[in-house]
Structure 1
Amino acid sequence: MQISGHPRVEIVVPVRNEENDLGPNIRRLRAFLDAAFPFRAEVCIADNGSTDATWEIGNLLATELSGVRVVRIEQPGRGRALKQVWSESTADVLAYMDVDLSTNLNALLPLVAPLVAGHSDVAIGTRLAPGSRVVRRPKREVLSRGYNLLLRGILGSRFSDAQCGFKAIRADVAAQLLPLVEDTSWFFDTELLVLAERAGLRIHEVPVDWVDDLDSRVAIAKTVTDDLRGIARLNKNLGRGRIDLEPLRATFGRPAVADPRTALAARVVRFCAVGALSTLAYVLLYVALRHLMNAQLANVLALLVTAVANTALNRRVTFGVRGTENRTRHQLRGLVAFAIGWSLTASSLWLLHTVSAVPARGVEITVLTVANLAATVVRFSLFQSWVFDDEAPTLPSFEPPALVDNTRSH
């Protein structure tokens, strides 16, 4: 739905203890909007729980600059600030950006224009798509890419960058979407995007020029922990049908075009993510057990424990099977796949010990890890064509899996 008349855009800048950057950067933002932005735009400084002079500086800026206001939210939390201000705003398009202005402001019009035109419902800046130019520390780059890969593997997301502090949403979409978002902190962005995607909303991505803020005060360890908890909570709630997305789908959702190749690729990505976790767990468990018993027994016990967990995770995450119906059957079939995997690793051990009576422990672990990865490929074929297919014959088929999408719609 295209926004008619003279659209209004409100840009929220969430801040907490930003007394040094607030004044210069709000003046810079306001000057850009007045000189180079074609839509009527207002700036809202959302002070969430500052204990320094941020609130006082915000009030001075609101008095000094036309089109700037300030709101005080007593409790901290970027998500809390955005949810409150966006819910109360009367603008047509709602946006936000970080106070450090790490994103080049020239990306603001490409971010907002598709929302005004009615082409898209949500728009995000992305630092991870082709065309973006990013300057930041390697640690932050690795964490960002790893986080977004995790979202793809567990939640099946297709957007490229969940955390870039540069986003916009149409107000009519926000009115229905915001009440569904629980998080009040850094996971707010991810939850909003995942729910929007699951509801069939169009998410527009804008590659941005972005320079890392060297004075960033984000507590990385706490943020990572909170994000992992958020992913687990959101995945659980979506899986159990606790989030009602039907009103959003009915009002704004657009039918997805099914592409079996894309569906299979998404399934492979999720399977690989589960497989990587299972392989790591297997290696750690094998090393621990190897101190207590011989190699073959340690191998079979480590495989058995990780196989049960692997089947349960793939049942839920990769193939979207919910509830308890056929769970025992799926686990029993999963054990057949486990037996095939065990035969591969056991044969590898036997061959290794035939070649060398006392192989080095590192060589032993390497051979087992490679064999376990090979077994993973076989298990995927079995999972795809037999383990979770309740219409399959009672004996496993070794034919290549057909490119058919049996997953839930994302």
Structure 2
Amino acid sequence: MIGTTGTAYGAPRTGIVERVGEPRPVDADIVIPVYNEQEQLAESVLTLMNHLASSQIEGWAYTWQIVIADNASTDDTWAIASRLASQYPGRVRAVRIARKGRGRALKLAWGESRAKVVAYMDVDLSTDIHQTGTLVGTLVYGFADVAFGCRLFDDSEVIRSAKREFISRTYNGMLRMLLGASFHDAQCGFKAMTASAARHLLPYIQDDEWFFDTEMLLLAQATGMRMYEFPVRWIEDPGSTVNIPDTVRKDLKGMWRMNGTLNRMRVAATA
């Protein structure tokens, strides 16, 4: 059953073991999933919060809440997250999740949201936060169901290593060639969905880790959702802890699984 816009939906609450602050019926929940990010969490959250407080300069007006989703950190990340949520009630809330996995963190944080739009961005703020208005406003004002940044358009401004550029272009090329993806960048950590789109998609997304983004976009495309992909300004975080070989292996496994899923959806649609 599809609920009403602005109500909690989706993931079971049991995956979240601790909360500071409660979901609010705002225009947008902006989730920052984190794992062992004690060094940069506070600075990033305060930078984003100060920017959002003056978001009208982007040409969009919307109410918001930042949600820090700590997925089983073993350092002081949760202490910092809970302190920020206590210091800035209504603007920042924090949830602590029992197990690792960015996809899991997003499912759980988005799943209890009361916002009209659910979004996320990486804690390193690699994507220019001045583009948050485009990400969120496009959905708040009804122009699309899913919005996401792209680092691979000709007019995207990207600073990153040649190795990561090659891996990204190869992976996204495979998605287009093998799975018929119409989008260009599945992996940019700058995405948003309407509450309605999230209610439709979250129950069917199986991956709990890095393939979550790809699966979300493929399912959105397959179900005919309106998707808006826009060029971003993006700077690689040299301190990223992503395990590239492990991520590539899991992405290939996810692509194999999604090929079967999409084929079954096509068969069902013609039955």
Alignment counterpart, residue 78 of structure 2, candidates 55, 73, 79 = 55
1:130 CA displacement: 2.7
1:243 CA displacement: 9.9
Kindly indicate whether the alpha-carbon contact (under 8 Å) linking 1:127 and 1:208 is maintained by their aligned counterparts in 2. yes
* Alignment of 1:207 onto 2:226: no
Would the alpha carbon gap of residues 212 and 102 (structure 1) be closer, same or farther in structure 2, given more than 3 Å must change? same
Kindly indicate whether the alpha-carbon contact (under 8 Å) linking 1:237 and 1:243 is maintained by their aligned counterparts in 2. no
Alignment counterpart, residue 252 of structure 2, candidates 208, 228, 242 = 228
Partner amino acid, structure 1, of 2:153? A
Q: Give SS of 1:130's match.
A: coil
1:218 CA displacement: 0.1
Q: 1:81 aligns to what? A: 105
Q: 2:148 aligns to what? A: 124
Q: TM-score, normalised by structure 1?
A: 0.57
Mind listing any 5+ residue stretches in structure 1 that lack a counterpart? 247-407
**1:67-106 alpha-carbon deviations (Å, 9 max, x no partner):** 1000011100000000111111000000000000000011
Aligned residues: 243
Q: Give SS of 1:147's match.
A: helix
Alignment counterpart, residue 151 of structure 1, candidates 163, 168, 175 = 175
Alignment counterpart, residue 65 of structure 1, candidates 88, 111, 120 = 88
Q: 2:22 aligns to what? A: none
Q: 2:48 aligns to what? A: 29
Q: Give SS of 1:14's match.
A: strand
Q: Give SS of 1:240's match.
A: helix
* Alignment of 1:192 onto 2:211: no
Q: 1:373 aligns to what? A: none
Q: TM-score, normalised by structure 2?
A: 0.86
Provide the rounded CA distance (Å) in 2 between the counterparts of 1:95 and 1:241. Answer: 26
Partner amino acid, structure 1, of 2:65? E
Partner amino acid, structure 1, of 2:76? A
Q: 2:119 aligns to what? A: 95
Kindly indicate whether the alpha-carbon contact (under 8 Å) linking 1:107 and 1:206 is maintained by their aligned counterparts in 2. no
Alignment counterpart, residue 178 of structure 1, candidates 202, 216, 220 = 202
Alignment counterpart, residue 164 of structure 2, candidates 124, 131, 140 = 140
Q: Compare 104-113 and 52-61 and name the one that shifted more.
A: 104-113
Provide the rounded CA distance (Å) in 1 between the counterparts of 2:267 and 2:70. Answer: 30
Q: Give SS of 1:230's match.
A: helix
* Alignment of 1:165 onto 2:184: no
Provide the rounded CA distance (Å) in 1 between the counterparts of 2:159 and 2:265. Answer: 40
Provide the rounded CA distance (Å) in 1 between the counterparts of 2:226 and 2:106. Answer: 20
Provide the rounded CA distance (Å) in 2 between the counterparts of 1:122 and 1:241. Answer: 20
Q: 1:19 aligns to what? A: 38
Would the alpha carbon gap of residues 242 and 57 (structure 1) be closer, same or farther in structure 2, given more than 3 Å must change? farther
Larger fraction in helix: 1
Provide the rounded CA distance (Å) in 2 between the counterparts of 1:28 and 1:241. Answer: 42
Identity of aligned residues (%): 48
Provide the rounded CA distance (Å) in 1 between the counterparts of 2:267 and 2:246. Answer: 26
Provide the rounded CA distance (Å) in 1 between the counterparts of 2:235 and 2:267. Answer: 36
**1:41-64 alpha-carbon deviations (Å, 9 max, x no partner):** 100000001000000010111111
**1:160-207 alpha-carbon deviations (Å, 9 max, x no partner):** 100000000000110111111000000000000001001111110121
Q: Compare 69-78 and 28-37 and name the one that shifted more.
A: 28-37
1:7 CA displacement: 5.7
Provide the rounded CA distance (Å) in 1 between the counterparts of 2:200 and 2:85. Answer: 30
Which one has more relative contact order, counting CA pairs under 8 Å at least 6 apart?
Answer: 2
Provide the rounded CA distance (Å) in 2 between the counterparts of 1:113 and 1:24. Answer: 24
Kindly indicate whether the alpha-carbon contact (under 8 Å) linking 1:128 and 1:161 is maintained by their aligned counterparts in 2. yes
Q: 2:17 aligns to what? A: none
Larger fraction in strand: 2
Q: Give SS of 2:192's match.
A: strand
* Alignment of 1:39 onto 2:58: no
1:242 CA displacement: 9.4
CA RMSD of aligned residues (A): 1.9
Kindly indicate whether the alpha-carbon contact (under 8 Å) linking 1:7 and 1:116 is maintained by their aligned counterparts in 2. no
Q: Which has the larger radius of gyration?
A: 1
**1:341-360 alpha-carbon deviations (Å, 9 max, x no partner):** xxxxxxxxxxxxxxxxxxxx
Provide the rounded CA distance (Å) in 2 between the counterparts of 1:113 and 1:59. Answer: 28
